[in-house]
Amino acid sequence: DWTMAEFRAAKIAEIRAQVGQGRVICGLSGGVDSAVAAVLIHEAIGAQLTCVFVDHGLMRTAEAEQVVTLFRNHYNIPLVHVDAEETFLTGLAGVTDPEAKRKFIGGAFIDIFEAEAKKVGGADFLAQGTLYPDVIESVSFTGGPSVTIKSHHNVGGLPARMNMQLVEPLRELFKDEVRILGRELGLTEAFVGRHPFPGPGLAIRIPGEVTKERCDILRKADAIYLEEIRAAGLYDTIWQAFAVLLPVRSVGVMGDGRTYDNVLALRAVTSTDGMTAEAFQFPGDFLPRVATRIVNEVKGINRVTYDYTSKPPGTIEWE
């Protein structure tokens, strides 16, 4: 695509002009956006870039290994892997408000980036894969009064004390354009086609308090759901699919015993830019099969529901 080739060349020139001889830290989330930003910036400034993958313990099953392997082995871009599960889970203890979760997580990310910046002798810039819809939705809702719907931590949640300048080469792009740019930069189809995953990770898919135990329950259920979606050949027709562990317990029966366990909600939506979305309509036998598997295989869940809400008035994530 020649327009994307032009965009790529223009951005590379722009990044070089902005950064000069400075050092850049790029936070990788495991998602497409930050990966594309990293590869683009690496092309522009090479070894002046240090990529940092912060494993906050709020990733899905096997996700952290996949990201590290992809960057180190496939793209040969140096990557610092920070295991910060304890920091995040300790800081999230007792936090139940969605924006308070984002605020803490955004701040903890910055602390880690600043610590890593020091290790490379000081970095003047922080790069992020911020997209146009992130900017719009974090700043205000178009047309109406200025109301923050969710402060995506890579936009609104940056603390004022941060002393690095931002490099955000994807700020004008929508998701479909980032995917085109990713292909243009040679990212594999499996990576370019990944569903979006929010920076705060599973923390915003566990309404109420986030604990390691609840993360583990959610990871197991989410892995079964995604495995079935892939097996049914539906992954690429869905914008985003995930499970949400609700802070509700329900009564059930297992064998001849009573159970009193967690309720799980499944979500799958179609969308073109994440700003509006429709619930995905699964073929008839799909959801009952997934519900049965999850209740049988995941200890701690005894009921599964499906979320049919569109955006608006709902949002894609529950928090």
Least distance to ligand XMP, CB of residue 231, Å: 23
Nearer to ligand XMP, 48 or 154 (CB): 154
30 marked ligand binding residue: yes
Q: Which two tokens stand for residue 130?
A: 């911020």
146 marked ligand binding residue: no
Q: Is 196 in the site for ligand XMP (CB under 6 A)?
A: yes
Least distance to ligand XMP, CB of residue 316, Å: 3
Q: Which residues contact 9 (CB under 8 A, 6 or more apart)?
A: none
Least distance to ligand XMP, CB of residue 311, Å: 5
Distance in angstroms (rounded) separating the CA atoms of residues 58 and 53: 13
250 marked ligand binding residue: no
Q: Is 200 in the site for ligand XMP (CB under 6 A)?
A: yes
Write the DSSP symbol of residue 73.
I
Q: Is 198 in the site for ligand XMP (CB under 6 A)?
A: yes
Distance in angstroms (rounded) separating the CA atoms of residues 210 and 214: 7
29 marked ligand binding residue: yes
Q: Which two tokens stand for residue 241?
A: 């699919």
Q: Where are the alpha helices (DSSP H) in the chain?
A: 2-19, 32-45, 63-69, 85-92, 98-119, 132-139, 175-184, 189-192, 212-231, 286-297
38-to-54, 70, 140, 176 alpha-carbon distances in Å: 14, 12, 27, 17
Q: Where are the alpha helices (DSSP H) in 46-188?
A: 63-69, 85-92, 98-119, 132-139, 175-184
Q: Are 265 and 220 in contact (CB under 8 A)?
A: no
Binding string to ligand XMP for residues 151 to 170, with x set by CB under 6 A, is what? -xxx----------------
Q: What is the bridge-based pairing of β-strands 165-167 and 125-127?
A: parallel
Identify residues 229-248 at the interface with ligand XMP (CB under 6 A). 240
Q: Which residues pair with 76 in a beta bridge?
A: none
Least distance to ligand XMP, CB of residue 17, Å: 27
28, 112, 274, 301: which one binds ligand XMP (CB under 6 A):
274
Binding string to ligand XMP for residues 111 to 150, with x set by CB under 6 A, is what? --------------------------x------------x
Least distance to ligand XMP, CB of residue 27, Å: 11
Q: Is 91 in the site for ligand XMP (CB under 6 A)?
A: no
Interface with ligand XMP (CB under 6 A): 102, 137, 150, 152-154, 196, 198-200, 240, 274, 311, 315-317
Binding residues for ATP: 29-35
